Structure 1
Amino acid sequence: METVSDVAVRPGEPDRRRRGITSVEVLCAVLLIAILGQTWLQSTLDVPALRTGATVFVAVCVQAMPFLVLGVLISGGIAAFVPARVLRRVLPRREGAAVGVAGLAGVALPGCECASVPVARRLIGQGVAPAAALTFLLAAPAVNPVVLVATAVAFPGEPGMVIARFLGSLATAMVMGWLWARWGKLEWIAERALRRMPDIAVGNRWRTFAETARADLVDAGGFLVLGALISAAMGVLVPGEWFGVLGEQIVLGILVMAVLAVVLALCSEADAFVAASLSALPLLPKLVFLVVGPAIDVKLFALQAGTFGRSFALRFAPVTFVVAIVCAVLAGWLVLGGVR
């Protein structure tokens, strides 16, 4: 497997790699154009709907960006400075108990969805039971303090959303771990994912930190912009009555928000602000959106298929989707007290 040090330019050699334009650079360019041309834009596009959409877009981005940056910095630090053997040493030998510890380890060792997949791959490569590694894969991006604080900020006055998200996400991770321990088979995982991975050399750790944080910020920043645009468009183009229908048809609302979480593929540090902007929806469908998204979405499916193999992803992803919905609904009924 190619590492950061493999692709780094050797001393004395010119850098011949072609650098593409990233989503963060596009976002900066768009914001710069908007700032310089705001007077012209206001006079030309003086439409109430556009002003409302722009307000929602900017609000989502500004609120979510600090948590997104903090999350990718923590993710880069874990990838560079926390060897997988640390978690392996604290895990119990019994697979069932190891699943519980790995789930709680997601609180202490946070990471975004994109970073959790290679970390789980490294854990398996260093001898950790796959059930525990997969539990950590699902728990780290969903129950860490950054995500929970972001959820509290996005839903002021609704502490139950934070508790329900924590319980629903932790239950999803642990149930999937126990299901794998009972019925999972190693032959479903690609052979390349079972090979032992070398530790990162001490001299390469800061480079790994910078590259991991940069890559996660580029990926997550692009999805944040996309999510904010869709959120703004839904607030302007979709009639409020439609969300009212989803609120009245609670089963339909849950299914629609679950599918939306898979398609939007938002970063877990930013998804709460998008969910909170859909003010016409009850809390339960929003909770399903927040629990399903970090567990399985289109980018996670692609990452899992590329890392662990298509056979694994085709089995793991659909079951995770169903388990996440069930755990979110149960947590919502327990903590939020119904469909409000």
Structure 2
Amino acid sequence: MATGARGKAETPPAEWGRRRAEPGADAVWWFVSAVSLLAIGRIWVAPWVTWTGVQAWSTIFIAICVQALPFLVFGVALSAAITAFVPAEVWSRALPRRGAAAVPVAGMAGAVLPGCECASVPVAGSLMARGVVPAAALTFLLAAPAINPIVMVATAVAFPGRPEMVAARFGASLTVAVLAGWVWLRFGKGEWLRIPDRPDHSGGRWEAFRVAVRHDFLHAGGFLVVGGVAAATINVVVPAAWVNELAGVPWAAVLTLAVLAVLMSICSEADAFVAASLTAFSPTAKLTFLVVGPMVDLKLIALQTGVFGRRFAVRFIPLTFVLAVAVSAVTGGLFL
């Protein structure tokens, strides 16, 4: 034992022998508490606020967060399950070895997994960490929230008697996802993409699952709140009259609803009902709204930036937006 200057044994620090709190262990409770306080404030405080802009902002913000949170939890849980329980070799057997063939297979896999865009980001990150080709994981990220069964059923309900709208949404969304994957496979560089770490845990698979859930929920949840704040602010600031004036110009209508899809940040399970209510716009413009929204919106931009890095976001998000607008315009012009 070390001794001090006077030859007496030094007393160990008080924290020796104590279990150190894991980083961020209490952050989950802080996040849940903040969301709960916001929801309570919307019910009890908002009625006393006289400025309608504040009421509208709080309503939109709470709606975005509450609507997306269950799907975010689902995606985080699925991502953690993939990390903890699915061996890495499963993905090498499930997907073709050639990246060009793996991309469309991953796109079709998105058609069978219910979930929204908030869920697809942590799942895609987990797939990359398990050895899946990044281009294939990104294709799944774009396709899953756009063409899954829940979204297709919601679109059919929102557009009764218009099966061509459902088919056009499915075809255009899958085409965009596959094209984006192929472009990233051909031109993307490894240093542009930050693949999330999935370290091994000695505590067993359930311990790995618990740690992954906590980490991903905090990381994605924080950026979801940031995206919700931005979307609510944009929805309140942009006058509705500006939007309606552009509906009569075909190309302007398409671009207007594409931008609105990004700014409004509506969950993919609900956006079809919003699109159907925009009666002043053409079917092609509505299709653009439905294709762009699940792939590029404010909360997705925040989530992708936080998970995959800023260098990735500034390249992949504009690519996705341009492809979504172009494919939607062509598809709508040919079939709607």
Compute the TM-score of the two structures, normalised by the length of structure 2.
Answer: 0.72
Pick aligned residue for 2:129 from 100, 125, 128: 125
Matches within 5 A, 1:1-340: 9=25, 19=30, 21-23=33-35, 25-27=37-39, 29-31=41-43, 71-72=71-72, 74-83=74-83, 85=88, 86-190=90-194, 193=195, 197-198=199-200, 201-203=205-207, 205=209, 238-239=240-241, 245-335=245-335, 337=336
CA RMSD in angstroms, aligned pairs only: 4.1
Gap runs ≥5 in structure 1: 10-14
The 10-residue stretch of structure 1 (136-145 or 154-163) with the greater mean CA deviation from structure 2: 154-163
- Per the TM alignment, residue 154 of structure 1 is displaced from its structure 2 partner at its CA by 2.6
When residues 261 and 121 of structure 1 are mapped into structure 2, their CA distance, relative to the original with a 3 A threshold, is same
After superposition, give the CA deviation of every residue in 1:180-200 in whole Å (9 maximum; x if it has no partner). Answer: 12222212223xx27555488
2:96 is paired with a residue whose SS is: coil
The 10-residue stretch of structure 1 (106-115 or 131-140) with the greater mean CA deviation from structure 2: 106-115
After superposition, give the CA deviation of every residue in 1:85-114 in whole Å (9 maximum; x if it has no partner). Answer: 444431000111100110011112333222
When residues 277 and 266 of structure 1 are mapped into structure 2, their CA distance, relative to the original with a 3 A threshold, is same
C-alpha distance in 2, partners of 1:143/1:220?
Answer: 22
Structure of higher RCO (CA pairs closer than 8 Å, 6+ residues apart)? 1
1:140 is paired with a residue whose SS is: helix
Give me the identity figure in percent. 43
Say how many residue pairs are matched: 304
After superposition, give the CA deviation of every residue in 1:102-159 in whole Å (9 maximum; x if it has no partner). Answer: 0011112333222322222222222211111111111111111122222223333332
2:146 is paired with a residue whose SS is: coil
Residue 129 of structure 2 aligns with an amino acid whose one-letter code is G
- Per the TM alignment, residue 170 of structure 1 is displaced from its structure 2 partner at its CA by 0.8
When residues 181 and 223 of structure 1 are mapped into structure 2, their CA distance, relative to the original with a 3 A threshold, is closer
**Higher Cα Rg, which structure:** 2
Gap runs ≥5 in structure 2: 1-20
Q: Residues 223 and 306 of structure 2 are in contact (CA less than 8 Å); yes or no, is this contact kept in structure 1?
A: no
C-alpha distance in 2, partners of 1:270/1:216?
Answer: 21
C-alpha distance in 2, partners of 1:111/1:145?
Answer: 9
Q: Residues 134 and 177 of structure 1 are in contact (CA less than 8 Å); yes or no, is this contact kept in structure 2?
A: yes
Residue 287 of structure 2 aligns with an amino acid whose one-letter code is L
Residue 266 of structure 2 aligns with an amino acid whose one-letter code is L
- Per the TM alignment, residue 246 of structure 1 is displaced from its structure 2 partner at its CA by 2.8
C-alpha distance in 1, partners of 2:188/2:38?
Answer: 42
C-alpha distance in 1, partners of 2:170/2:312?
Answer: 26
When residues 116 and 203 of structure 1 are mapped into structure 2, their CA distance, relative to the original with a 3 A threshold, is same
When residues 312 and 214 of structure 1 are mapped into structure 2, their CA distance, relative to the original with a 3 A threshold, is closer
2:132 is paired with a residue whose SS is: coil
- Per the TM alignment, residue 263 of structure 1 is displaced from its structure 2 partner at its CA by 1.9
